[in-house]
Chains A and B, each alone.
Chain A
Amino acid sequence: MSDLVDLDTPGVATPAITRLVRLMAAREALAAVFADARRRVAAYHGEAELEPWAKGVLALVDVNAGAGGLLAFWRASVELSPRLTPAELGETALGAAALCREAGSSATVAALAAFTQIEPRLAGAGERAIWWRALTALGRAAPDCVERVAGQAHRLVLPGHAADFEGFIEAGLKAAGRDRARQHAFFALEDRLALGLLARIGAGPGFDELEAGLKMVLTALWGATPNLQPLPPAGPDTPGRANIAGPAIRLPDVFPGVAGEASRRLYLAAAAHAGAHLFFGNPRFPIRKFKPVQMVLANLVEDARIELLAMRLYPGLRRLWVPYHVASPEDGPTTGALLARVARGLFDPSYSDPDALVGKAQALFAASLERIEDPLISLDVGTRLANDVGQRRIRFDGRGHVVEPAYRDDGLGLWDFGDIDPDVVAEIKMMVDAARIERHETEDGTADEEPTPEPAGRVRPKAAGEKGVVIATYPEWDAGAGVERPDWTSVRAALPVEGDTRPLQRALDRAAPVRARIARLVRAAKVGRAARLKRQAEGHDLDIDAAIEAAIARHAGEMPDMRVFRSTALLQRDLAVLVLVDVSQSTREKLTDGSNVLDVEKLAVAMLGEALEGLGDDFALLAFASAGRDDVRVTCVKGFDEPYGAPAMSRLAGLTSGLSTRLGAALRHAGAEMSRVRSFRKLILVLTDGEPSDIDVAAQDLVQDARRVVLQLRSQGIDTFGVTLDPGEVGSGPAIFGKTNAMPVRRLEDLPMRLSELYFRLARR
């Protein structure tokens, strides 16, 4: 402030407006504009009120906002004066000054211009402050991105969602890091993540939040658990629509711009509609030579057909769908608008429209009502309507077409794109391509949720530095030599990887019936088993034997024992269990449904984890694999002293298959962990898909070693049980764990239930 202070007598507070006037008088180029702005702001608020505003201008001067910055603020002041007080304008200038310090003058000019536009969307001082704070943070990390963001302000700042704007900027900075190119792409909204986040601004709850509820509603309505999947945004400005792909219903991640209760209703309407498609048969017409307009109209009729059938079963569905049928001739002359009116007319026979196409659609549909069960009427009626459209030369662009109303699916599920006629018209090709691209993109989008599968049959490459620290060494039984070799194996702590829990969560959701059974077991077990106590001093029932003895004693003149009641007491559970999961290479084996053995193991362990958590029993989860005696890797998924929650689940999800199975060493380690736990009963459950093996020893020797460990553990009071994935029951399970403690699982699908059942059986003893 040095040059300003020089103008005044030190110590005497000169009003900012006086200082400003003096300062501006010296700046010829600005003087006239300043005078004009000051006059116009004063006209709104009165000359006497201008002090805070002038302070703001001085702050801008102070940060070298330059002539451009000052002019931009004055312009903003004049435009916003009807809405903001001089004090609020002053705040704005302070915010702009803070930004200017980080990002320079031209960024500030852009931000002030954008602020003027979006200010009406901001509620109060708090939200205005958010705007400046977020931009200042952006300016600090990526100054050259501020202008880009300011240019997109109308899309990023929505009424009531200013916080989302700040969240968007934070997310972008986090995702891009110091990578300039990524920063640019993100804040120019050219990046996938940015588009996804943009769609969420002012929208939601989205798919993730609503999935579980929708699944239940569809199950209740249509009697089968639906396969619901999220669909990432197709591109900027493309409204999301549901899509039916085979048995799967794919719903947009989020319906952009639809928030709160409206979002819940839209998802429900869309899910119920898609569910009706699947319930009343999805015929999948071979696409052959259909024109796009024909396809679109057939889709409209099919939509009306399945909705009519659905509403016969569930009349209340009308209430769900009717609010979206609001198309009217006022919507404009586009073909899309006309098609939306056809949709309305088909949905609501009482709707009448000036365009003959709507009336014709209604008439044809009404005439087909007696064949309503037959999906072919959709193709028939659609084709006849398409002819009319053709004769009237109504232009239709298949590529840019978006189905209306918003709850309807994109209609692609109705068609079989399998065998396209080679001389198909170019237009359809485009439409099909568009559909394919969209499919393709979404497949990419979901692919990165799961770890990219490595080529099967190859052991995970192992870098020397990747070996974890040795946490223990154990002896091993050398069956050939008949001696126990001390310190023969080294157990290393493998760093747990936090994985994406969503696939696991979905698998859990799909297994709801089994989980419910397990939950019942939990409840039953939790109630505790009542122990009947005889000869008690008090109780709810007479112990008749004791009563008679007491009577006899009294008559015999002896001192009767008055403990003549029976009571019950709940047995305390006091047990600890350690689950040891084999994650060796063989668990990578693929199953028919695309998952692999490890996935099923994870599901089984997750379900058991839920049960154990519910019971409050102490438990730990360890995973193991080995690459020679020097490198037995044990991953701690959950320790005894932490709860089974989201972190443990994500470590469970993060387990990957690879390497070999040195079971004995892993068991010794599990035993050592267990010996630290104080519990009356101690169990180790081993979940393995096959035989012990390793690269430097004969498998049979490892079987004998493991057997020895099991016996040693038993002598220490630790019971070891093996759940082996052993369809042929030919494995070494019984040889290792003993006949009664080996539980071969014949069908892999049964593993989750079996594992939990086994536990409950064991825990009851």
Chain B
Amino acid sequence: MTLPGNKAVVGDAAGIADSPLSGRPFLPDGEGWSCTIAETPMLVAPDLAAYRIDAEPYYRPVGDEISVFEAAWKHRLPVMLKGPTGCGKTRFVEYMAWRLGRPLITVAAHEDMTAADLSGRFLLTPEGTVWHDGPLTLAVRHGAICYLDEIVEARQDTTVVIHPLTDARRMLPLEKRNELIPAHPDFQLVISYNPGYQSAVKDLKESTKQRFVAIDFDYPAPALEAEIVMREAGTDPALARTLVAIAACSRNLKGQGLDEGASTRMLIHAGRLAAGGVPLEAAVHAGIVLPITDDADVRQALGSAISACFA
């Protein structure tokens, strides 16, 4: 890379593409100023203590997901958790991170998320610009499980940054810094993906999807889900069963008035309200019906079905 006059171009994509990656930061040094790029400022302890999970999270296995995940972990294969929102994917990752004794760094993807939000960026300080590792970079350097929640929400070009991490290279190129980080041996990438949202506009690229081992998640079977609701919301068994029946009704309306049925998470919310003394109907209304739809007709129909669920 050559400097035209004394102007520097840092991390120019084209520049990286035609220059061999050095793995070292590029330091422009114009006269009388310096663009300080610290060698990875240690803002975070290298053992990622803040990201460790001390107590065992409650997770009720529903199938062979634990053994599949462990097998994937053994080979550090990237894992994709597929399933609707609120069915236990996040809880599962937390549990696995605890079980495997790895720190867990979670990133919730959103529409405006850019590659920089994952990998890191320069921040302007009075002294100049300072590089700051993003969450993905942290996990790659120090060997954490990185969980990218609802990855489809991010723009498609954002997801491309994970490609080199998910094949045999296991590397993270930091274009801006002109650095190529080989992944820590304990680094593992996990993403979640809700196929219900799948559409022509928002979907994972085929080239992204095919890099992952997938584990299918769905709402647990009624008895299991009732057990989870009981435990998480502190309800009695009958109330938990009623809530699960209500959820089943709402899930029948998916695509027929509702975009999604009630999630396990919603049941737990309603259950907590009810267990805390709110009358059941009001708790279900506040915890499930109101959040799930704005359409008055759908609300009324759902209300009729719900009132059939309890004596």
Contacts and interface: CB of A to CB of B under 8 A. Distances in A.
B199 A516 contact: no
A521 B201 contact: yes
B7 A549 contact: yes
A520 B197 contact: yes
B200 A761 contact: yes
A219 B305 CA distance: 9
A760 B200 contact: yes
A272 interface: yes
A220 B124 contact: no
Interface in A196-233: 212-217, 219-223, 225
Contact of B201 (A220, A513, A524, A549): A524
B12 interface: yes
27 contacts: A212-B297, A216-B253, A216-B256, A219-B252, A221-B252, A221-B305, A223-B252, A313-B245, A314-B309, A315-B310, A512-B257, A517-B199, A521-B200, A524-B199, A525-B201, A544-B129, A545-B9, A548-B9, A552-B6, A552-B7, A552-B28, A555-B31, A555-B33, A556-B5, A556-B6, A556-B7, A761-B200
A544 B308 contact: no
A223 B30 CA distance: 70
Contacts, number: 131
Interface string A556-568: 1000000000001
Given A217-B304, A757-B200, A760-B201, A555 B121 contact: no
A512 B256 contact: yes
Nearest to A223: B252
B199 A547 contact: no
B108 to A, nearest CB: 18
A555 B34 CA distance: 10
B259 interface: yes
A761 B256 CA distance: 24
B53 interface: no
A516 B128 CA distance: 51
A97 to B, nearest CB: 48
Contacts of B33: 551-552, 555
Interface stretch (A316-324, A347-355, A598-606, A669-677): A316-324
A220 B7 contact: no
A233 B307 CA distance: 31
Interface string A174-216: 0000000000000000000000000000000000000011111
Contacts of B111: 527, 530
A462 interface: no
A220 B112 contact: no
B275 interface: no
B122 interface: yes
Q: Which of B8, B305, B307 has the most CB of A within 10 A?
A: B305
Interface of A is mostly: helix
B8 A548 contact: yes
Interface residues of B, number: 50
A761 to B, nearest CB: 6
Contacts of B124: 542, 547
A220 B202 CA distance: 28
A316 B309 contact: yes
Interface in A546-597: 547-549, 551-553, 555-556, 568
B239 interface: no
B57 interface: no
A764 B201 contact: yes
Interface in A525-549: 525, 527, 530, 541-542, 544-545, 547-549
Given A216-B257, A313-B245, A544-B11, 12 more contacts: A216-B298, A217-B301, A219-B253, A220-B249, A220-B252, A221-B308, A544-B10, A548-B28, A549-B7, A556-B5, A757-B200, A760-B200
Contacts of B245: 313-314
A314 B308 contact: yes
Contacts of B10: 544-545, 548
B131 to A, nearest CB: 10
B311 interface: yes
A268 interface: yes
A555 B32 contact: yes
Given A220-B253, A272-B308, A213 B301 contact: yes
B301 A220 contact: yes
Contacts of B5: 556
Contacts of A555: 30-33
B230 interface: no
A215 B253 CA distance: 10
B171 interface: no
A617 B138 CA distance: 45
Interface in B172-214: 176, 197, 199-202
B311 to A, nearest CB: 4
B150 to A, nearest CB: 14
Contacts of A517: 199, 255
Contacts of B121: 542, 544
A212 B297 CA distance: 9
B165 interface: no
Contacts of B309: 314-316
A212 B201 CA distance: 29
A61 to B, nearest CB: 57
Nearest to B256: A512
B302 interface: yes
Please indicate which of the listed interface residues A219, A517, A542, A545 has the most CB atoms of chain B within 10 Å of its own CB.
A219
Nearest to A756: B200
A300 to B, nearest CB: 22
Contacts of A214: 301
B281 to A, nearest CB: 10
Contacts of B250: 220
Residue among B122, B176, B200, B257 facing the most chain A CB atoms (10 A cut-off): B200
Q: Shortest 7 CB-CB distances between A and B: which pairs?
A: A216-B301, A220-B305, A315-B311, A513-B255, A314-B308, A220-B249, A316-B308
B35 interface: yes
Nearest to A764: B201
Interface string A298-336: 000000000000000111111110000000000000000
Contacts of A314: 245, 308-309
Contacts of A552: 6-8, 28, 30, 33
Contacts of A222: 252
Interface string A676-712: 0000000000000000000000000000000000000
Contacts of B307: 316, 319
A764 B202 CA distance: 12
B299 to A, nearest CB: 10
Interface string B111-139: 11010000001101000110000000000
Interface in B253-275: 253, 255-257, 259
A547 B297 CA distance: 53
A541 B124 CA distance: 11
A544 B200 contact: no
Contacts of A545: 9-12
Interface in B197-239: 197, 199-202
A525 to B, nearest CB: 6
A221 B256 contact: no
Nearest to A212: B297
B201 to A, nearest CB: 4
Interface string B277-311: 00000000000000000000110111011011111
A315 B309 CA distance: 6
A316 B284 CA distance: 15
Contacts of B176: 544
Contacts of B259: 516, 520
Given A545-B10, A760-B200, A551 B308 contact: no
B256 A516 contact: yes
A719 B301 CA distance: 44
A104 B34 CA distance: 109
A560 to B, nearest CB: 11
A210 to B, nearest CB: 10
Nearest to A544: B122
A225 B256 contact: yes
